[in-house]
A = this chain, B = another copy of it.
Amino acid sequence: MASRIKRILLGRPLKSTELGEQKLRKTKALAILSSDALSSVAYGPEQILLVLVAIGATAFWYSIPIGIGVLVLLTALILSYRQIIFAYPHGGGAYVVSKENLGLSYGLVAGGSLLVDYILTVAVSVSAGTDALTSAFPSLHPYNVPIAVVFVIGITLLNLRGVTESASVLAYPVYLFVLALFVLIGVGLYRIAAGDVSPELHASLGTPVAGISLFILLRAFASGSSALTGVEAISNAIPNFKSPAPGNAAKTLIAMGALLAVLFSGIVFLAYYYGISPLPEVTVVSQIAEETFGRRFLYYFIQGTTALILILAANTGYSAFPLLAVNLAKDKFIPRMFTVRGDRLGYSNGIIFLGVLSIVLIVAFHGQTEHLIPLYAVGVFIPFTLSQSGMIRKWIREKPPGWAPKLVINFIGALISFTVTLMFFLTKFAMVWPVLVFLPIILFVFYRIRRHYEAVGEQLRIASCEPAVPIEGNVIIVPVSGITHVVERSLNYARSLKAEQIIAVYVPFEREEELRFEEKWSKWKPDIRLVTLHSPYRSIIQPLMRFIDSVQRKAGESNYQVTVIIPQFIPRKSWHNILHNQTSFMIRTRLLMYGKDIIMTTVPYHLRK
Contacts and interface: CB of A to CB of B under 8 A. Distances in A.
A455 B579 contact: no
A456 interface: yes
B462 A488 contact: yes
B536 A17 contact: yes
Interface string A478-489: 000011111011
In the assembly, how many copies of this chain are there?
Answer: 2
Contacts of A592: 570, 602, 604
A576 interface: yes
Interface residues of A, number: 76
Contacts of A484: 460-462
Interface string A94-131: 00000000000000000000000000000000000000
Contacts of A458: 609
A452 B570 CA distance: 13
A372 interface: no
A496 B473 contact: yes
A454 to B, nearest CB: 9
Given A15-B536, A453-B579, A474 B496 contact: yes
Interface string A440-467: 0000000001001101101111100100
Interface stretch (A223-231, A318-326, A333-341): A333-341
Q: Give the dominant DSSP class at A's interface.
A: mixed
Interface stretch (A193-201, A252-260, A593-601): A593-601
A158 B383 CA distance: 55
A291 interface: no
Interface centre among A473, A497, A608 (most CB of B within 10 A): A497
A564 B99 CA distance: 44
Interface in A5-25: 13-17
Contacts of A492: 468, 470-471
5 interchain residue pairs of minimum CB distance: A460-B484, A471-B496, A15-B536, A601-B601, A455-B609
Interface of A: 13-17, 335-337, 340-341, 343, 449, 452-453, 455-456, 458-462, 465, 468, 470-474, 482-486, 488-489, 492-493, 495-498, 509-510, 524, 536-538, 561, 563, 569-571, 574, 576, 578-581, 588, 592-593, 595-609
Given A14-B537, A459-B608, A461-B484, 5 more contacts: A452-B579, A460-B485, A498-B498, A570-B592, A595-B606
